């Protein structure tokens, strides 16, 4: 579990702000649910025989001996919350969420035990048009972040529950013929949940699966129609993708459309965004049958990608425009008052008031280091003249000028605008 330090948070804030604004602009509203849920919720939704439920959950008894779990993902929580509050009854509901998730995995680049996701869930729409719109939304997000070239879309259909049941038998027959090549996990899953073997991270298993029967050949008419229409919609909208018949996702609740946005620029942990349709989950958790589709994106991986390939805007995180140097005995009180007057007049200007004394020279050094564009100086001379000195710190043509604070308030917006060009 990592700390996210001040040098990093500006990137986080930017990614989160861009995504939140985009979700809002497509009609999604934010929902916030607790970090802890009853363990049962995840067992019933994600599936008993999945990596997450079998070995990755932070589960503990509370003081009342009730089994609780730190949420490993958001979809189950979102469904629980939306259902509990009647948000899913006979209506379309577009929701988004963000926050920490917890999985007891081996920590490595792009894989933490506390990680962060942003996700959207759309309830009440069964047709492929919403699948397509969600993919368009994600594509727009990459474009806005300057990551359009760095990620690619992989797409598959898992068909209906009936299709998967038929396929399960065919896969089982194939894998049983190669039983001795299966690792322990896969041996076990052969009996419990053979489709999970498709999601194995073991290269030897993936090799074995190349010749296995393909789920694509078992899709029924309805699943085929849904998938074909989705592909036509994506083609018409200019979304390119790669069909990946072995894409199954690590959670049991998916059906029909599944997708991942991946990159080859982060090593082994290349999936930055993943999702799909889960039409039976709401019912499975006690609600009325409600079609649903959504995705989650992994913020840590997005941050890594953004640092490596995004167009990090100039001045990202430089929230301080002006460093206020207070050089003189007993001028601190006066400086605080002047600073508040400036803030009243110019609320969008970032102003850091030096505190704790020190020589003019040492304060100017701090001003330089702060990343501010200007130092505002209140020294003995300024104090006795009722004035302030503004000094450019980044070699701007402005140089240095002393003026009354009223005049400064008048001129600052123009001066700052000129400096940022």
Query: For binding to Mg ion (CB under 5 A), which residues are involved?
Result: 250
Member of 14, 22, 73, 259 binding ligand ATP (CB under 6 A): 73
In the complex, the smallest distance separating the C-beta of residue 269 from ligand ATP, rounded to whole angstroms, is 6
For residues 66 and 132, the answer to whether their CB atoms sit within 8 Å is no
In the complex, the smallest distance separating the C-beta of residue 199 from Mg ion, rounded to whole angstroms, is 9
- Taking CB under 6 A as the binding criterion, the range among 268-276, 282-290, 311-319, 333-341 that sits at the site for ligand ATP is 268-276
Sequence-ordered strand ranges (E) for 204-350 = 242-243, 255-262, 271-277, 292-298, 322-327
- Taking CB under 6 A as the binding criterion, the range among 102-110, 157-165, 341-349, 358-366 that sits at the site for ligand ATP is 102-110
Q: Which two tokens stand for residue 132?
A: 């397509």
Indicate the pairing of strand 322-327 with strand 351-353.
Answer: parallel
Which class for 146: exposed (0-12), middle (13-18), buried (19 or more C-beta within 10 A)?
middle
Alpha helices in 178-331 (DSSP H): 184-192, 203-209, 221-237, 281-284, 299-309
- Report what 73 binds from Mg ion, ligand ATP, none; CB cut-off 5-8 Å by kind: ligand ATP
Q: With respect to ligand ATP, which residue has the nearer C-beta, 208 or 272?
A: 272
Q: Which two tokens stand for residue 185?
A: 């996990």
Report the alpha-carbon distance of residue 165 to residue 218 in Å, rounded: 9
Report the alpha-carbon distance of residue 194 to residue 187 in Å, rounded: 9
Mark 25-64 with x for binding to ligand ATP (rule: CB under 6 A) and - for no binding: ----------------------------------------
Q: 3-class DSSP state for residue 28?
A: coil
| DSSP type of residue 5 | -
Member of 171, 223, 230, 274 binding ligand ATP (CB under 6 A): 274
Q: With respect to Mg ion, which residue has the nearer C-beta, 250 or 270?
A: 250
- Report what 298 binds from ligand ATP, Mg ion, none; CB cut-off 5-8 Å by kind: ligand ATP
In the complex, the smallest distance separating the C-beta of residue 160 from ligand ATP, rounded to whole angstroms, is 21
Indicate the pairing of strand 114-123 with strand 292-298.
Answer: antiparallel
Q: Which two tokens stand for residue 115?
A: 């990680």
Q: Does 247 bind ligand ATP (CB under 6 A)?
A: no
Q: With respect to ligand ATP, which residue has the nearer C-beta, 233 or 251?
A: 251
Backbone φ and ψ for 265, nearest 5 degrees, come out as -100, 0
Number of other residues whose CB lies within 10 A of the CB of residue 260: 21
- Report what 272 binds from Mg ion, ligand ATP, none; CB cut-off 5-8 Å by kind: ligand ATP
Report the alpha-carbon distance of residue 346 to residue 408 in Å, rounded: 11
Restricted to residues 277-306, the positions that interact with ligand ATP (CB under 6 A) are: 296, 298, 300-301
Report the alpha-carbon distance of residue 45 to residue 87 in Å, rounded: 19
Q: With respect to ligand ATP, which residue has the nearer C-beta, 244 or 334?
A: 244
- Report what 98 binds from ligand ATP, Mg ion, none; CB cut-off 5-8 Å by kind: none
Mark 103-122 with x for binding to ligand ATP (rule: CB under 6 A) and - for no binding: x-x----xxx--x-x-----
Q: With respect to ligand ATP, which residue has the nearer C-beta, 117 or 160?
A: 117
Q: Does 269 bind ligand ATP (CB under 6 A)?
A: yes
- Report what 112 binds from Mg ion, ligand ATP, none; CB cut-off 5-8 Å by kind: ligand ATP
In the complex, the smallest distance separating the C-beta of residue 110 from Mg ion, rounded to whole angstroms, is 11
Q: 3-class DSSP state for residue 277?
A: strand
Which class for 417: exposed (0-12), middle (13-18), buried (19 or more C-beta within 10 A)?
exposed
Q: With respect to Mg ion, which residue has the nearer C-beta, 250 or 350?
A: 250
In the complex, the smallest distance separating the C-beta of residue 97 from ligand ATP, rounded to whole angstroms, is 13
Q: Which two tokens stand for residue 94?
A: 């577009």
Q: Which of 138, 137, 125, 107 is nearest to 302 (CA)?
A: 138
Chain contacts with ligand ATP (rule: CB under 6 A)? 73, 103, 105, 110-112, 115, 117, 249-250, 269, 271-272, 274, 296, 298, 300-301
């Amino acid at each position: 579990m990592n700390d996210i330090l001040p040098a990093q948070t500006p990137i986080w804030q930017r990614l989160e702000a861009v995504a939140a604004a985009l979700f809002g602009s497509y009609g999604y509203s934010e929902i916030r649910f607790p970090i802890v849920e009853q363990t049962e919720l995840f067992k019933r939704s994600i599936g008993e025989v999945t990596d997450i439920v079998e070995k990755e959950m932070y589960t503990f008894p509370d003081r009342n001996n009730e089994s609780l779990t730190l949420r490993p993902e958001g979809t189950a929580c979102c469904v629980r919350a939306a259902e509990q509050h009647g948000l899913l009854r006979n209506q379309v509901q577009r929701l988004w969420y963000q926050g920490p998730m917890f999985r007891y995995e081996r920590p490595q680049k792009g894989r933490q035990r506390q990680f962060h996701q942003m996700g959207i869930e759309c309830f009440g729409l069964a047709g492929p048009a919403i699948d397509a719109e969600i993919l368009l939304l994600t594509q727009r997000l990459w474009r806005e972040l300057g990551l359009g070239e760095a990620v690619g879309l992989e797409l598959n259909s898992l068909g209906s529950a009936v299709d998967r049941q038929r396929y399960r038998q065919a896969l089982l027959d194939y894998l049983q013929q190669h039983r001795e090549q299966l690792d322990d996990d896969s041996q076990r899953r052969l009996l419990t949940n053979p489709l999970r073997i498709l999601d194995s991270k073991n290269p030897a298993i993936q090799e074995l699966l190349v010749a296995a029967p393909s789920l694509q050949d078992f899709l029924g008419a309805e699943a085929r129609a849904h998938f074909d229409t989705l592909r036509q919609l994506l083609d018409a909208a200019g979304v390119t993708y790669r069909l990946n018949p072995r894409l199954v996702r690590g959670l049991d609740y998916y059906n029909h459309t599944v997708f991942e946005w991946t990159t080859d620029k982060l090593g082994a942990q290349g999936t930055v965004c993943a999702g799909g349709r889960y039409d039976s989950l709401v019912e499975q958790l006690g609600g009325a049958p409600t079609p649903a589709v959504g995705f989650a994106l992994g913020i840590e991986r997005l941050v890594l990608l953004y640092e490596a390939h995004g167009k990090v805007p100039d001045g990202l995180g430089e929230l301080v425009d002006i460093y206020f140097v207070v050089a003189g005995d007993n001028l601190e009180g006066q400086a605080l008052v002047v600073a508040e007057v400036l803030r009243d007049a110019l609320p969008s200007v970032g102003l850091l008031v030096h505190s704790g004394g020190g020589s003019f020279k040492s304060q100017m050094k701090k001003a330089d280091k702060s990343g501010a564009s200007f130092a505002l100086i209140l020294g003995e001379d300024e104090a006795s003249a009722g004035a302030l000195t503004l000094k450019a710190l980044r070699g701007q043509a402005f140089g240095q000028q002393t003026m009354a604070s009223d005049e400064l308030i008048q001129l600052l917006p123009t001066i700052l605008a000129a400096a940022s060009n």
